[in-house]
Amino acid sequence: MQDIIIPMKYVGKVPIDSALYKWNVYIIEASTKAQRPWTNVKNYPQYFRDAGFEDIQEFKYLWPNLWLKKGRYFKTLARYFQANFHNGLEGLTMRLFTNFLGWPREDVQSFVTAVKKDLQDPSIQTYIQVYVLFFLEADVVIDNLSDLSYMEGNRRVSADILTVPRNYEVH
């Protein structure tokens, strides 16, 4: 199982006046009013334990939005994230904002356009945390599950950690 952790995180200065920052605030408010808070991801392991699952393995990943970072892996990951998030943003936003925040449809569409513009702004460096849970039956063993890596040229690089440039402060 995989889900995103909201709010997004920022590298460098947090753009509190941006539509993207406000979207994160509003989506948490709306999902909480819908009784499906998007901040609940951290509770998933316990929910699944309570449902009877065993051998739950948790992994956290960072997916960059628009990283100007070197390396094919992160640039590819950012492109996939962009495409996925752009395609789903209006759908994710429309129902929650109209039904639980009382926004008119046209205002949501206009706001989503502003959020998409922010997602393309290289001065706003964001990443989203992705939470992945594996549920294994007691008699199933997967060797080296934590050795998730990728090849970059002739070099093997760990894919479970996104390094942040030293000159940026992560929020």
Q: pLDDT (tens digit, 0 to 9) for every residue of the chain, 171 residues total? A: 888 889 999 988 899 999 999 999 999 999 999 999 988 888 888 888 888 888 888 888 888 887 666 778 888 888 888 888 889 999 989 999 999 999 999 999 999 999 999 998 988 888 888 888 887 654 444 444 444 444 555 655 554 444 444 444 444
Q: How is residue 145 written in tokens?
A: 């599950």
The pTM of the full predicted model, rounded to 2 decimals, is 0.74
Q: What's the rounded Cα separation, in Å, for the pair 26 and 101?
A: 8
Which one, of 58, 63, 78, 74, lies nearest residue 9 by Cα? 63
Residue type, 91: G
Q: CA nearest 78: which of 90, 64, 96? A: 64
